[in-house]
Amino acid sequence: MNPETLNEEPSDKANIHSVTFVTEEEKPPAYMYSPGIYASKPEPRSKNGDSVISKPQQKSLFNVNSILRAVCLVLICTLCSAAAAYIVMDFRFARGDFAVYNNVTLGGRPSMQQDDGYVAPLITNPDDLSASDIYDIALTQVVGISTELPDSFGIFGVPGSMTPISGTGFIISNDGYILTNYHVVETAHSRNIPITIVLSDSTTYTATVVGFEAYSDVAVLKIDATGLNPVIFGNSDILRVGQTVYAVGNPFGDFVYTMTDGIVSALDRIVSVDGRTISAFQFSAAVNSGNSGGPVYNTAGEVIGIVTAKVIRGNVEGIGFAIPINDAVEIATGLIEHGYISGRPFLGVTVQNVSSAHAEYFNWVIGVYVRTVNRSSAAENAGIKVGDIIVAIGDEEVTSLETLRFALRRHRAGDTAQIKIWRNGDTLDLTITFDEDEYAGRPNRPEAPEPDSPNPFENIP
């Protein structure tokens, strides 16, 4: 949820517009007919030469007109000030300076008085923060995540000193919400292993899983704590290649709170990690196992991404990938606000991959084979049947379950799209309107029912 935050102190003084009234002694020998214009004009008279308007009446009218003009001037200035303030605030919201989503506010603010008396670090000039300044801030925001049972050695090699660190996370609210990668907590969550959060001062908390989206590799945890210092969100939509970035995390679980620096190397990378297709940006700061789930900072001390993967190929270093923070904040907000990720599309089918070997064996096409279709689902309403093979959604080719999920992420519940299927040798274009997946991100999603139709791949030699 933030671009580079405008860190300016609001003025205590209102805009004051002064109006100067001309006294009788200072008034030039003329009458005011329009603002700021004086002109001599003969006094109107009747046919017999008498003045039509007496001097006292003229003076009274002049005072009334002056007051009306002053009031109009004040109103105009007030409206102009309000319009200017609106334009500035609208611009700052558009840039993402305020991470407000529905009823949830995530992320901290420079020099903001937090609940319970905690004061976030003051950032007076975010464009000039040194690496040391950012590291000092990170010490109050980055956490270690342990998903292993304690053994005889802690993270400092001292027997019994602490639970070993498995990954990294960071604080996104002062009341204990934490953002990390799903793969950091996946095994612990599935096996009911306790998840421990370790702060930089060695304070530990037991965390609960609020929710996650496995295929985006984002998870939200919660600890019972207040007065924490949440990160400030940057705006990942305005990242540029060449920007300096810093990664802070716990590589290998032993070298806790390590900072490395680098640059944004590329944008909009599509990477596959453990069967998950993720849209990420590439960066050159060195990261290793244990950095997963940690923040990537910009030079303003704002978090712009979550470390999720690195290339492991020989001695290759300096190729890491991070989930854009805007994507992660959207997921976190939905989980905290609604208990699930709202707006995620739902097909209502159970599918299975059709590999190249399957396609050759059956004389089919590569895609995903439909095993079941839920009643009254988006798929059934679109005309999809058991035995169909989905080969594309919109402009996205579908060659596997992984690419199907990625194609669905291009849409939201309620969207209408073209879906291309292969059926008995024919290719059909159907129109589908997606349902909403009301279980998206829930930690205890119901298991899909076993398909009623036979598995055509079961007896392939």
As annotated, the active-site residues are 183, 217, 292
Paired tokens of 231: 């990160």
Q: How far is CA 363 from CA 114, 341, 355, 356, in A?
A: 64, 39, 11, 10
Contact by Cβ (8 Å): 335, 210: yes
* DSSP string of 275-292, one letter each residue: TEEEEEEEE-S---TT-T
Dihedral class, residue 9 (left if φ above 0, else alpha if ψ from -120 to 50, else beta): beta
Q: How far is CA 79 from CA 75, 113, 261, 262, in A?
A: 6, 32, 47, 47
* Residues in a beta bridge with 37: 34
Within 237-284, strands assigned E span 244-249, 258-273, 276-283
Task: For residue 78, give every residue at least 6 positions away whose Cβ sits within 8 Å of its Cβ, in sequence order, or none.
Answer: none
Q: Choose among 406, 425, 428: nearest CA to 365.
A: 425
Amino acid at 189: H
Helices (H) and strands (E) in the chain, counts: 7, 25
Helix (H, G, I), strand (E, B) or coil at 452: coil
Contact by Cβ (8 Å): 156, 165: no
* DSSP string of 293-312, one letter each residue: T-EEE-TTSEEEEEEEEE--
Neighbours of 288 (CB within 10 A): 19
Contact by Cβ (8 Å): 389, 421: yes
For residues 113 and 111, give the distance between their C-alpha atoms in angstroms, rounded to a whole number.
Answer: 7
Helix (H, G, I), strand (E, B) or coil at 67: helix
Task: For residue 440, give every residue at least 6 positions away whose Cβ sits within 8 Å of its Cβ, in sequence order, or none.
Answer: 213, 334, 340, 341, 342, 344, 346
Q: Choose among 123, 128, 169: nearest CA to 145.
A: 169
Show contacts of 396-400: CB within 8 Å, 24+ apart. Answer: 398/367, 398/368, 399/366, 399/367, 400/353, 400/368
